[in-house]
Amino acid sequence: MNKIRTYASGKKIWISIDETSDAAGRYVANAIIGTLEIDHPGKTFLLNSECLEKANHGTNARFFDKSLLLLWPDGVKRENVLLFVTDAAPYMVKAARSLKLLYANMEHVTCLAHALHRVSEEIRKYFPLVDEFISNMKKVFLKAPSRTLIFKTFAPNIPLPPNPVITRWGTWINASLYYCKHLSSIKNVLRELSREEATAIVKTQDLIDNQTLKCNLIYIKTNFSSLPESINRLETSDLSLKDSIKIVVDFRQKIQQSKNEIGIAIQNKLKMVLEKNTGFETLSKISKIIDGNESDTAHFPDEFNIDDITYMKFVPITSVDVERSFSCYKTLLADNRRSFVFENLKELLIV
């Protein structure tokens, strides 16, 4: 903790907070901070990890203040906090709104990778046939070594079917792209499976010749194949603000090419998600100023000190760092470590 305090001393910072539920049923919140440098990406630290009684705007706001008091025990330097990154949960937005009264220099942005994932969820909603096929294919090969062996025998040159998890950003779209590419090989494998074994096999064998399924897979790949790639690029560490915003803008331009009813609905979903994220608009203006492309004083973000803007070149617009800290936490809390006292678990995690 002293190393973190020493490194962050006198520096402008950003902070990201999120919570998860662990295997022991606790609500665990993590606070990640990163230093803001003018000419290069700063360092990122896990600052705090706490058990919350419940997840709401009050507990998260108090956790925010408590975490920064760890960083600055002699008094929180509120003017040094320039950015707060969270997910788009209503209680997190409410917490950020209340904290902004105390942290006047702070801008709040909701995670843009999560925003694109919400677009992915919207796409899934419009293709129930594809969703049913992906879901049943997952059931056919999950924990089924004999069927996996048949798959490797009759389709040796392609990877096993993906196991998309709805809460993992963009994995459903990736699964659609996989089936669009390998549907004929998958069909050969399904022919070798007995319909008597499982209901999921019956459903996939009946669906695979469905012409609507094939048309839907083609449409998804043609119009939305850039979505998982965009999310992966946003998850990259140490991106500049300009590069991060360009990824979102490029994706928005690519989906404009789809002019049918579904395409327009997806475009409207993205538009709505971005319009709700007021911090994204502010950071877009700041990026243009830093890049020398914004000279219109009417669009100058007045709430920012001019000197503060110079530190915004490498601010993040995603909460992937805090998501990665949860991955570390869940790896640390293995089945044979459940008797860990949380205070020890927290300190081990931070170290």
pLDDT tens digits, 232-281: 999 998 899 999 999 999 999 999 988 899 999 999 999 999 999 999 99
Domain boundary among 235, 256, 276: 276
**Domain closes at, from 276, 297, 317:** 276
Tell me: do 176 and 163 sit in the same domain.
yes
Strand, coil or helix: 39:
coil
- Looking at the fold, whether 129 and 142 belong to one and the same domain comes out as yes
Output the domain CATH number for residue 302.
3.30.420.10
pLDDT of residue 306: 86
Mean pLDDT of all residues in 204-225:
95
pLDDT at 16 over 90: yes
Mark whether 94 and 68 lie in a shared domain.
yes
Same domain, 130 and 265: yes
Q: How many domains is the chain built from?
A: 2
Q: Which domain holds residue 176?
A: 113-276
Is the CB of residue 18 less than 8 Å from the CB of residue 86? yes
Same domain, 340 and 218: no
pLDDT digits (tens, 9 = 90+) for 175-209: 999 999 999 999 999 999 999 999 999 999 999 99
Q: Which of 276, 301, 318 is the last residue of a domain?
A: 276
Of 218, 231, 123, nearest in space to 177 by CA: 218
Query: Which residues have CB under 8 Å from 279's CB, separation 6+?
Result: 83, 107, 108, 109, 110
Residues 342 and 271 in one domain: no
Residue 293: what pLDDT?
A: 79
Separation of alpha carbons 39 and 204, rounded Å: 54
* Radius of gyration of the chain, Cα coordinates, nearest whole angstrom: 23
- Residues whose CB falls within 8 Å of the CB of residue 170, separated by 6 or more in sequence, listed in order: 116, 117, 120, 227, 228, 231, 232
Residue 216 has pLDDT above 70, yes or no: yes
DSSP letter string, 103-155 = -TT-EEEE-HHHHHHHHHHHHHHT-HHHHHHHHHHHHHHTT-HHHHHHHHHH-
Mean pLDDT calculated for residue range 329-345? 87
Residue 53 pLDDT grade (very low, low, confident, very high; cuts 50, 70, 90) = confident
pTM beyond 0.85: the answer is yes
CA distances from 277 to 134, 301, 315 (A): 31, 15, 16
Percent of all residues in the chain with a pLDDT value above 90, rounded to a whole number: 79
pLDDT at 24: 83
Crossing angle of the two packed helices 112-125 and 241-255, in degrees rounded to 10? 20
Sheet-wide strand order for 44-52: 44-52, 27-36, 12-21, 81-86, 107-110
| pLDDT on residue 299 | 62
Q: Are 117 and 182 in the same domain? A: yes
